[in-house]
Structure 1
Amino acid sequence: MTSLPALLAAAEPVEGGFRAHVPANWLQGRTAYGGFSSALALEAALRCEPDLPPLRSAQIAFIGPLAGAVTVTATKLRRGRNAAFVQADVTSDAGLGLRATFVFMAERESAVRHDAGLATDRRPPAPDQALYQGPPEFFTSNFQFLDLKAEAHGPTEWLRWGRLIEREGLHPAVELMAVADALPPAAMKLLGSFGPVSSLTWQLNLTTSPPQTQDGWWLLRAEADAAAGGSSSQNMTLWNAEGLLAVQAMQSVALFV
């Protein structure tokens, strides 16, 4: 089993990024888990430009399968006084598998402040609670989870506490990226069982900087708002252990059933 910190530490530097290998324990089917490949892309973006401000937004396209040896490169698109845009690509022998645009922006004084009341009073698992960990040949083996099945509302909502087991040394935003996609696509709840699905795009907005939580715990929520014609649109939310909103996201998912 290869942890994300160990994989990044062993990555081979190349021009504009690094080369790494997707181990079996980071796969979901025939491709890398989306949070893993997105974390690789963010790591390359952070390495390509010095002294970046906090990550504020990410736009990710899951273009094709990623497995085996991958090359991760990043390019600065523009950097102004407050914001920087960096593009990152992840490629394999099969070609381009992921393209991401990351937006980094420093905090600034503003007269605008608004809180929509999206905090939660749910708290992370107690030390003695039984946690779920996936099988060694699947990406969920890298996480600990506690499902909140009784608290989920409606036919398509997932609600789950999750944390990355090996996270020492990771940039906080890279750790967050690795965790934030760890729920199954919400439309799968309509199937009643796991089926062939594939994420197409993922848009994330971070509401805190830098992202912080206690003992690695994040509360993940996903809910499909619409599903028809072989695709679904879902909203996603992530809170830290103190119940503060950390991420709002949207994802498009292809359904092959």
Structure 2
Amino acid sequence: MTSLPEILAAATPMENGLRMEIPASWMQGRTAYGGVSSAMALHAAQQLTPDLPPLRSAQVSFVGPLAGGVDVTARLLRRGKNAAWVQADVTSEAGLGLAATFVFVRDMESKVAHKEAPAPDFPLPDPDTVTYKGPKDFFIHNFELVDDRSDARGKSEWLRWVRLDEREGLDPMVHLIAVADALPPAAFKLIGGPAPVSSMTWLCNLLTPEPRTRDGWWLLRAVSEYAANGCSSQTMAIWNADGEPIATQMQSVALFV
């Protein structure tokens, strides 16, 4: 039980949620990869009621470390005519590790149709492209990766094609949330290499009610717009294989250097 579909399938019901297991292969240091713990929280939120509208926004706080057995609870905060707010928490023996608010909103007719999020110029990997997987004892080994290493990128910009290895049967939104945090903090480029950092908050706004791509590939970008006094604020975005904008994001990162 190491892939995300297997983790979700093995979840056992409990009062107000699900009990799940985070395997060592999804860890990043002393805590789980934020994308997998957020995907688990979303999965539990989706189980509350079968008629939730599409996810439109995820607001996540990374409160503490998560590892091993966890309890994922969810409760409905409010249900209106067009939208529903669901709170989901992930706790382990160490206490609360993740607190998320998911906002589900149905499509509505609007006279406004403004789309201005062109994809960066970084071609989709072809079948002959050499991909990178990362070390086996680290969460990134669950993905295929292709980084843009050109000098054209800004000094604090990271651009990467990402594909989740095991994705069969995943809900499209759960799949996307699991992938969406698969970039290192962009401030790594300013630091000059790996360093002790910790994501604190993450906001992901979905631009489509049903995220889809080809061959599992997603293009992720992160740009640190401010890094000082031990904190970095970065903007992020996701496009599918056809260059269509899928999500915009923002993240706050603590820098212990």
Partner residue, 1:64 = 64
Q: Write the distance in 2 (CA, Å) between the matches of 1:151 and 1:199.
A: 26
**Contact 1:235-1:250 at 8 Å conserved across structures:** yes
Greater shift, 47-56 or 168-177, is seen at 47-56
Distance 2:117 2:28 in 1: 35
The residue that corresponds to 2:168 in the other structure is 168
Partner of 2:195, secondary structure, is: coil
Instruction: Tell me by how many angstroms 1:154 deviates.
Output: 1.3
Name the counterpart of 2:17: 17
Three-state SS of the structure 2 residue aligned to 1:248 is: strand
Deviates more, 1:47-56 or 1:136-145: 47-56
Matched, 1:237 2:232: no
Letter in 2 for 1:131: T
| Distance in 2 separating the partners of 1:153 and 1:126 | 21
Q: Deviation at 1:120?
A: 4.6
Q: Deviations over 1:14-51 (max 9, x none)?
A: 11111111111100000000001000000000011221
What secondary structure is seen at the aligned counterpart in 1 of 2:43?
A: helix
SS of residue in 1 equivalent to 2:5: helix
Q: Does 1:112 align with 2:112?
A: yes
Which residue of 2 is the match for residue 213 of structure 1? 213
Superposition RMSD in Å:
1.2
Q: TM-score, normalised by structure 1?
A: 0.97
For each residue in 1:166-223, what CA deviation from the matched residue of structure 2 results, as whole angstroms up to 9, or x when unmatched?
0011100000000000000000111111010000000111111111111110000001
Check the 8 A contact 2:39/2:174 in 1, yes or no. yes
Q: Residues 155, 215 of structure 1: CA spacing in aligned structure 2 closer, same or farther, 3 A cutoff?
A: same
What is the rounded CA distance, in whole Å, between the counterparts of 2:44 and 2:194 in structure 1? 32
User: C-alpha offsets along residues 229-248 of structure 1, whole Å, 9 cap, x if unaligned?
Assistant: 10100000100000011010
Match for residue 189 of structure 1? 189
User: 1:48-197 alignment to 2 at 5 Å?
Assistant: 48-120=48-120, 122-150=122-150, 153-197=153-197
Runs of 4+ that moved beyond 2 A: 117-123
Q: Distance in 1 between matches of 2:158 and 2:203?
A: 18
**Does the CA-based 8 Å contact 2:122-2:148 persist in structure 1?**
no
User: CA deviation digits over 1:112-153, x for unaligned, max 9?
Assistant: 111225245544210111100011110001000011111652
Question: Against the structure 1 CA distance between its residues 117 and 6, is the aligned structure 2 distance closer, same or farther, given a 3 Å change threshold?
Answer: closer
**Distance change >3 Å, CA 151–CA 114, structure 1 → 2:** farther
One-letter amino acid of the structure 2 residue matched with residue 4 of structure 1: L
Letter of the aligned partner of 2:2 in structure 1?
T
Partners of 2:80 and 2:175 lie apart in 1 by 26
Q: Residue type of the partner of 2:250?
A: M
Q: 81-90 vs 144-153, which deviates more?
A: 144-153
Match for 1:153: what amino acid?
Answer: R
Aligned length: 257
Counterpart of 1:55 in structure 2: which amino acid? L
Contact 2:206 2:247 in 1 (8 A): yes
The SS at the match of 2:243 is coil
CA contact (8 A) 1:25 1:136 kept: yes
Quick one: percent identity of the two aligned structures? 62
Rounded to whole Å, the distance in 2 between the matches of 1:192 and 1:55 is 36
Secondary structure, aligned partner of 2:38: helix
User: Structure 1 pair 74/107, CA: closer, same or farther in 2 (3 Å)?
Assistant: same
Instruction: Give the unaligned 5+ runs of structure 2.
Output: none
Residue 151 of structure 1 contacts residue 159 of structure 1 at CA under 8 Å; is this kept in 2? no
The answer on whether the counterparts of 2:117 and 2:245 sit within 8 Å (CA) in structure 1 is no
